[in-house]
Chain A
Amino acid sequence: MPFLSLNDISRTFGTTRAVAGVSLDVNQGEFFGLLGPSGCGKTTTLRMIAGLEKPDSGSILFQDKDITNLPPERRGFGMVFQNYALFPHLNVFENVAFGLRARHKSKEEMNERVNSALELVQLPNYGKRAIDQLSGGQQQRVAIARAIAIEPALLLFDEPLSNLDVSLREETRRELRELVTRLGLTAVYVTHDQEEAFALCDRISVMVGGKLMQTGRPRELYEQPSEISVASFLGRNNLIKAMRLSSSKTTDGEFKTLEGEHTLHLHVKHENLAPLNKPVYLAIRPEHVELSTNNNTAENSLRGNIREIVFGGATSTVRVDANGLLIEALVLQTNGLQVDQPCNVILSPDHLTLLK
């Protein structure tokens, strides 16, 4: 039985469909990510889980109870907002105590829970501080403390790290994950940053244009994207338009690229055999593309010319033009490679993926 489940929920603002028929399940104790480009509907989905928006259709079940129409104050979910939404007229203690006051907790219990929440986020003795005396990172911790002080049944994060600078972001990310695990909480985390999502989440749903494209573990999403939108959103990818040549019954696929008219071979899984004579996309990550300057007879080796070499620090990007087909390769060393030099591009069948 899933802890939280969204069943076919949709939300329209005016004429734009922000969320279109999203269904997903979150398990207890899971750190679940909603990942997608800005405007993809991930925040709206989170706000519907929080009760801040009502779905136009569909239902939300929490521990098998329908909470679709329950107002936010009766859900008992903690939420950390992108801008923190700390109350400017209250000090740190009162901010963290806010939810406990709303629950009419005794003074002793309130003191104890506020102080332990502040200790958890490593801000003990900060209670009397005014909000505007805190740095961005400290404000962000207070926001987390406020959300966990109510002992939430579910913790919701709306891009909580996007207002922090890069160095602070990684540190806070690690602490956040540790905290959630230690308290045994279930979390739903919205972000547009795939690195952040990969580092934090047990499972991730990728959303594009209001639709849920794919759900899976980070590695699964990265290595076996099932949709073009997922493949192109998660990291860099070479997308090759091609047509299937061999019989559609066999799992040994033979494809002809539309640009450059190269023949490529790859292993096709039974469940997604491509139809004949209909363009499909093949994807390969730049880090999986091999370059070689000697003559070589490896499978899927295409002849090309180096167009551009972009130095990027630890790695460099090499763009190769293989008879009109542009392929990007990520290499550690550019030794011996030069612009306008002919070379072979090897697209290993193990790394080529067929997209729906």
Chain B
Amino acid sequence: MALLLVTAVVLLYGVIYPNLSVAISSFQRAGTWTFANYTEILSQRIVLEAIVSSLGLSVATVLCCALVGIPLAFLFERYTFPGRRLFAAFAALPLVLPPLVGTVAFIYLVGESGILAHGIQNLLGLQNPPWRLRGWSALILFHTYTMYPFFYVLTGAGLRRIDASLAEAARSLGASKTTVVRRVVLPQLTPSLLAAALLTFMTSMASFSAPLLFGGDVRVLTLEIFTARQRGDFVIAITETVILAVISLGALFFFQRYEGTRRFAAAAMKGAPRRRASIASGPARVLATTLAVVFAIVLVLPVATLFLVSFAREGSWTTQTIPSAYTFANYQRLFADPWAAEVFFNSVTMSAIAAVAALLWSFAVVTLLRRGRNEQKFFGEGWRRLLSLLVLVPWALPGTVVAVSVAEAYGGPSLLLGSFVLVGTFWILPVVYFLRFMPLVVRALQASMEQVDPTLEEAAGSLGARAWQRFMRVTLPLVWPGAVAGTLLAFVIALGEYVASVLVFVPANRPISIAIASELRDFNLGAAAAYGVVLIVIISISMIVAGRLEKLRG
């Protein structure tokens, strides 16, 4: 009962009320109900353009990511050759890079005054940089770099799940290799591909850092909402937020529906695991190996650039291909400057608060979800679905939407908090981080719980253990590695959070990402890079620990 109360209160305060208040505000003007906000902003060319840009960019991103990710998954999942592991080790790197850090690294590498552009310019003795990192092509390139892993990882997982004996059966029935791919493999992959497409679409809709820093004329919705709030145009910001939220939730709805159908692949009976084939033809092997090495370098290059620039002395990188002088000063400043120390302290504290709260809360939610499965009378199937949906909503919503809705709901005296105003306090960011990343922890815990055989708890019960003893002595020892791994993941993502932070941070809780952005604005390229590198180091350590924990579980 206490669990139910805690869960309900958090969902009411964190998910239902903020989103409802944004939706309500978008239909109100001067205290009356009206569609005026929508008719007004939809008649503005710039808003329509933003919607079209966001959708167009996302569709283009999905297509490009599919074109890159699917063939790579087939190549690396199905065949073995020298270099395969090298690529596989770095394949998911862009996923763990905080978007802002990735954007900065990208600018240093392929921006018009980045290493590549300067290199070519100096090599060929050109007057101007050979290209400018601006607009559509720049955004699509960056999105493909950061989001192709959705397709790569999900297609790979889908391929692994397909029972090899099905393909063998098809071959024995006379189907050619291409027929097998077309009629056996692809239909079974469809759910994975759809999931990847929707994830990519949702992530692309939420993208903010890249459009902000090198979007040029492409003004997407997230950016429009940000600038509308900056100029104090709250009504437009809120109305656009609702539009963005509706598109994202639509995608979530499809994602949920297709995720359910993903099970059929796993339902196959006991079958033969597929072995990776080695590539027989020599030239093909060389090609595959070259491809693996080149892609591995491409994946690592932005991060390597960031490392390099983090050691650059300020002012030593103007027209040179790479900075001409190196120093530890950027890092020294990071550790000596009280301002920088405070920024780190803020981010670590706020992320830790959010992650730990998410962990504790996840236990309540997951326990409820599991209990609902057994006792229909207590907690029906419909409620169970509603609960899992509400938990997922903040995950599907772009960070911009979460921040705007919390700001709208608790920006003044509110129905739920009375005269307490959350906006403008230190606590606004921990709350936003919690909302944004708790679905990750819930999912991680859920996955761990699903691996625990339910008869273990029943056995403990039949041996005389009460509910609390069952939890402490059976469930918790089995799920904590997975739960902590999920919490660590939420922690590191919160550490680099920028999209929502930039909308609601106050001087008292300025996080790392805001510091990076302001260093960049002041052209302190080395200092911005150093922040990024420290973030990446913390993230890497956490990911290694999380990986160890995952193994511990198996």
Residue numbers of A with Cβ under 8 A of B are 50-52, 71-79, 81, 83, 85-89, 98-99, 101-103, 146-147, 150, 156
Contacts and interface: CB of A to CB of B under 8 A. Distances in A.
B39 interface: no
Interface string B12-32: 000000000000000000000
Given A87-B474, A88-B478, A89-B478, A99 B455 contact: no
Given A83-B453, A85-B455, A150 B478 contact: no
A50 B461 CA distance: 9
A98 B474 CA distance: 10
30 contacts: A50-B458, A50-B462, A51-B461, A52-B461, A72-B461, A73-B462, A73-B463, A73-B465, A73-B466, A74-B464, A75-B462, A76-B464, A78-B462, A78-B463, A79-B462, A81-B458, A83-B453, A85-B455, A85-B458, A87-B456, A87-B459, A87-B460, A98-B463, A98-B473, A99-B465, A102-B460, A102-B464, A103-B464, A147-B462, A147-B463
Given A87-B474, A88-B478, A89-B478, A98 B465 contact: yes
Contacts of A74: 464
A77 B453 contact: no
A147 B465 CA distance: 13
Nearest to A47: B458
B477 interface: yes
B52 to A, nearest CB: 47
Nearest to B478: A89
A150 B465 CA distance: 12
A97 to B, nearest CB: 10
Given A98-B473, A102-B466, A85 B461 contact: no
B469 interface: yes
B345 to A, nearest CB: 37
B466 A81 contact: no
- The 4 tightest CB contacts between A and B, nearest first, are A99-B463, A85-B459, A85-B455, A72-B461
A229 to B, nearest CB: 29
Contacts of B465: 73, 98-99, 102
Contact of B455 (A71, A76, A83, A147): A83
Contacts of B459: 79, 81, 85-87, 146
Nearest to B455: A85
B465 to A, nearest CB: 4
Contacts of A51: 461-462
Interface in B10-56: none
Contact of A73 (B455, B464, B473, B477): B464
Given A102-B465, A150-B463, A72 B456 contact: no
Most A Cβ at <10 Å: residue of B463, B469, B477, B478: B463
Contacts of B460: 87, 98, 102
Contact of B462 (A77, A83, A87, A88): A77
Interface of B: 453, 455-456, 458-466, 469, 473-474, 477-478
Contacts of B464: 73-74, 76, 99, 102-103, 150
Contact of B461 (A73, A83, A150): A73
A86 B458 CA distance: 11
Contacts of B469: 102
Given A86-B459, A147-B463, A150-B464, 15 more contacts: A52-B461, A72-B461, A73-B463, A73-B465, A79-B459, A83-B453, A85-B459, A87-B459, A88-B478, A98-B463, A98-B473, A99-B464, A102-B460, A102-B465, A103-B464
A161 to B, nearest CB: 16
A205 B329 CA distance: 83
A81 B463 contact: no
A304 to B, nearest CB: 41
B462 A89 contact: no
A76 B462 CA distance: 7
B9 to A, nearest CB: 28
Contacts of A73: 461-466
A71 B461 contact: yes
A51 B464 CA distance: 12
Contacts of A50: 458, 462
A45 to B, nearest CB: 15
Contacts of B458: 50, 52, 72, 79, 81, 85
Contacts of A85: 453, 455-456, 458-459
Contact of B463 (A52, A83, A102, A156): A102
A131 B321 CA distance: 60
Contacts of B474: 87
A89 B552 CA distance: 11
B363 to A, nearest CB: 18
Most A Cβ at <10 Å: residue of B453, B469, B477: B453
A219 B469 CA distance: 45
A188 to B, nearest CB: 13
Most B Cβ at <10 Å: residue of A71, A77, A81, A150: A81
Contacts of B461: 51-52, 71-73
A75 B464 CA distance: 8
B422 to A, nearest CB: 41
A98 B456 CA distance: 12
A101 B261 CA distance: 44
Contacts of A103: 464
Nearest to B457: A85
Nearest to A97: B463
A314 to B, nearest CB: 32
A85 B454 CA distance: 9
A79 B455 CA distance: 11
A89 B477 contact: yes
Given A83-B455, A85-B453, A72 B462 contact: yes
Given A98-B463, A99-B464, A102-B465, A81 B455 contact: yes
